[in-house]
Structure 1
């Protein structure tokens, strides 16, 4: 709370400075006293609390409290302003600062996942469409799909931050009438006041028109990229949960962590980190929080839609919950995601075994082409391998056995011309297309440039830890 009220004081100081520069009778002593008391101590907070109980108005309570430590300015603090001069402008400052805090954390997550993608750029893995086996990809290439969405989130949050304007000095209903009166009808000075206060607070521009508040559509515009980030997190963590079920990739797991109160096999021993199954608790937590983050924008849209005319007050209590929750939720999601990305475990042998179960079916086209190169008939070969594939499929689905298609090919004299080539034809690395090269070019051309502004923060970022 002192940050909020300290920001209010900075806003009152900026207003007074600008009004003095433009000719209003504000003394140097008043300005100096305000500058000297921008921070609130515990005693000042107690005074403000007592004033608010009496006045039932938080802004006026703090106007009075500020005046007790800056008595030379007591008569000009908040001069010409409405409460939303401090509350709304402060909120815009907080939105800007909040987005600025999230961006380097997001960049760090992207950097960690990029290291993971590069490490496993060429490790073949079974790709899925409809969560059914499809063509092969690589573990690293799959991670680039996650990274690409995070890069879009980085871009969207950067845009939202750079797009933020300032409410500025607009008066009770946005007409600047009170300031026009202060400057004796001088429109030029009122415009200069608005521009100068905006400049003092470090914003590139002020919204050209407002009601009493800045449009609550701005809140929706800020929460939109955060909600979109929530969708990204949910997708990534759901993928990891699915892969954990397949025992191919798992989130970090502490050696003394208990996975289940009933199922001991989900808990590793003191000397063994590998278990038969682990509950993906971090990813589950992230999915849970991500859903909450995604729905918060809907709240801001509803609030924006019911701001009658120049404003109503039914936005206030709602925003005091929704805006902080969105930023806090996004922040913890970034911490969870960083923790996951810094310790993901990959099981290449499990991945290779699953490939071996599906690859024979995928290799049938290669086998047909090889037979044709040896003088065989394409249609005849197709029919023979179709029959063998159905037989092997029946073993897998009806008998619960292993895929024995290649053994059937090796034992059928028709395929003898390609027996010596079968190992080459079944090499998983020949089925991944340009996946490794796509990882390389994606990282070089897209990831590195996007992360360049955050290099120092990424370098100094501490490892993310969680209390599970």
Structure 2
């Protein structure tokens, strides 16, 4: 790292966390080389449709896509206060033969908005495989632990038993919804295309002497060259900022999912039932050497909150886009669109890393079940006693008294739950003494959890992962 760079603020999203792939996707290099490609597409399409543009000119443009004089571009923008015209002149400087036809008939949003749509599409294509890998890793975890009984919680109070694998399926189910939503948002993206200053295509109609068919074909050719199947039929000067709302909505939804998953992991880490990966030389606390803080999950929760809040930017921006457009969207969009995808990228790479190294502690889980299960089994015990001839009301009162005594030991004395011992010592419950241990088998309290896991993974998860089969092997390595 150059020491001079340490004297300026750098976004932690790029400096600390994000993948090189996503960081490049929102880089100046990609942005401005994409502008040049769009100018080339426009020139080639105009040439195809009969404008006086030569192969020599388009070849010159093709050869100089990556040849950007960054110093000149910076100086031109300072002088002209217009980034697009600065780069038109910079591109023209290295393409003297083509300089006169660069940006012909176009408005700034031809390169600005179309580039944004290309970058957004490519960003979806980066995060979707990452999301699929998180789902796949958690699916392996769920399958492995589908039979492992664990205490369920409602209101963060002990509830009926579930299994570790079934709980993981709750996480996976939400992630599958995100996979669907992100895929849908990507596939719904269209190209702005070649629409002119206020979206009327008037400048291109003039170029082609009022030939509407050629203007339609120009729009179609450029859209296809950019790799899109469709362009928006109507736009203002920009594509509707409602599109940005759709995009950040699904990313915010992903943020909420990851926050919930990692909050659960943090709570389970406190209970010592489950831990995220902890490396051999990792330090949990500078003051308390024994600590194994769930720092990856905490990072996810921290960044997920940022991602969730970003949806407010496009909502407010879209609401104040007067008529065909205003420019108060520009600075805001430079920040929120990039930050949303950079944050989603970090969340998914971190969640994948967590999912690849989750550690379960069955003995701790078993101990907690033993503390709570006797209370949960009281209804089953009453039913068994009634079947042996006892009165339901009498049995309820007997077990109520023993339960209160056992609860007092737990709450007031800090002892273990001894309800089972008390039942075994009571002559009243003699008819069920021999079957008591069987009645307290945790596996009999998890319902259809294992079957639900098997069915869910087979019928919903595996089909959802099929389109991403070639991306699933990559391991996640965190930068920090």
TM-score, normalised with respect to structure 2: 0.92
Q: 1:113 aligns with which of 135, 138, 146?
A: 138
CA distance in 2, matches of 1:411, 1:363: 17
Structure 1 equivalent of residue 402 of structure 2: 388
Q: Write out per-residue CA displacement over residues 60-90 of structure 1, whole angstroms, 9 at most, x where no aligned residue.
A: 1211222223222111110000010000000
What is the count of residue pairs matched by the alignment?
Answer: 453
- Secondary structure of the residue aligned to 2:253 is helix
Note the residue ranges of structure 2 that are not aligned, 5 or more in a row: 1-27
| 1:442 lines up with 2:456 in the alignment | yes
| 1:339 lines up with 2:366 in the alignment | no
Aligned-pair Cα RMSD in Å: 1.2
CA distance in 1, matches of 2:247, 2:453: 31
| 1:300 lines up with 2:314 in the alignment | yes
CA distance in 2, matches of 1:463, 1:289: 18
Instruction: Note the 1:40-119 alignment, pairs <5 A.
Output: 40-41=67-68, 44-119=69-144
CA distance in 2, matches of 1:40, 1:449: 44
- Secondary structure of the residue aligned to 1:209 is coil
CA distance in 1, matches of 2:224, 2:163: 51
Instruction: Note the 1:244-323 alignment, pairs <5 A.
Output: 244-266=269-291, 278-323=292-337
CA shift, 1:378, in A, is: 2.2
Native 8 Å contact 1:293 1:330 kept in 2: yes
CA distance in 1, matches of 2:390, 2:81: 92
Q: Write out per-residue CA displacement over residues 384-409 of structure 1, whole angstroms, 9 at most, x where no aligned residue.
A: 11221122112222222211111111
Q: 1:407 aligns with which of 379, 396, 421?
A: 421
Q: 1:179 aligns with which of 197, 204, 208?
A: 204
Native 8 Å contact 1:336 1:466 kept in 2: no
Q: 1:37 aligns with which of 64, 70, 79?
A: 64
Q: 1:431 aligns with which of 445, 449, 453?
A: 445
Structure 1 equivalent of residue 156 of structure 2: 131
CA distance in 2, matches of 1:236, 1:151: 13
Structure 1 equivalent of residue 384 of structure 2: 370
CA shift, 1:466, in A, is: 4.6
Instruction: Note the 1:152-167 alignment, pairs <5 A.
Output: 152-167=177-192
Question: Which range moves more in the overlay, 206-215 or 130-139?
Answer: 206-215
- Secondary structure of the residue aligned to 1:315 is helix
Q: Write out per-residue CA displacement over residues 112-135 of structure 1, whole angstroms, 9 at most, x where no aligned residue.
A: 111111111110000000000000
TM-score, normalised with respect to structure 1: 0.95
Structure 1 equivalent of residue 48 of structure 2: 21
Native 8 Å contact 1:2 1:40 kept in 2: no
CA shift, 1:218, in A, is: 0.8
Native 8 Å contact 1:339 1:466 kept in 2: no
CA distance in 1, matches of 2:449, 2:195: 55
Native 8 Å contact 2:374 2:420 kept in 1: yes
CA shift, 1:376, in A, is: 2.2
Runs in 1 of length 4+ with deviation above 4 angstroms? none
| 1:213 lines up with 2:226 in the alignment | no
CA shift, 1:51, in A, is: 2.3
CA distance in 2, matches of 1:194, 1:79: 14
CA distance in 2, matches of 1:465, 1:317: 30
| 1:353 lines up with 2:367 in the alignment | yes
Structure 1 equivalent of residue 19 of structure 2: none
Q: Write out per-residue CA displacement over residues 22-68 of structure 1, whole angstroms, 9 at most, x where no aligned residue.
A: 11111121122122222235xx2233223223322211121122222
Native 8 Å contact 1:121 1:138 kept in 2: yes
